[in-house]
Amino acid sequence: MSLRVTPCACARAAADLIGARFGENDVEVVAGHAGPAYGVPHAATIEAIRLAGALEALPLDPVYSGKALAGLIALVRERRLQPDTDVVFIHTGGVPALFAYQGVLGI
């Protein structure tokens, strides 16, 4: 038996943990921040991984979570998020993938 957890279920569980409100209409899917191809990190992904590691001691992988944070950083820089907007970044794993990208990441 496999257990499939949807992004909305993760978001709802995270919101419950911090006592926040979350609804399906609070989700916006923004395309265009994944880089050149699946599994191929680009400069923004590498920057996001390094920032998360240096500022928050948060390890991100270059396939999913690093690209997700790169997209979030781009939205902030584009001012698509207001300064007083609360954002919860849900890290869903993938850290072992870092070891396969040591050369690209310079680690």
Q: Backbone dihedral region of 3: left (phi > 0), alpha (psi from -120 to 50 degrees) or beta?
A: beta
**pTM of the predicted structure, to 2 decimals:** 0.79
State whether 56 and 71 are in the same domain. yes
Domain limits at 58? 34-105
Per-residue pLDDT at 35: 85
State whether 18 and 66 are in the same domain. no
Q: What is the mean pLDDT of residues 7-30?
A: 82
Rounded CA separation 25/48 (Å): 27
Residue 44 in contact with residue 74, Cβ under 8 Å? yes
Q: Indicate whether 3 pLDDT > 70.
A: no
State whether 49 and 74 are in the same domain. yes
State whether 22 and 6 are in the same domain. yes
State whether 15 and 43 are in the same domain. no
State whether 70 and 18 are in the same domain. no
State whether 47 and 19 are in the same domain. no
Our CA angle for 72, 76, 81, nearest 5°, is: 100
Per-residue pLDDT at 1: 47
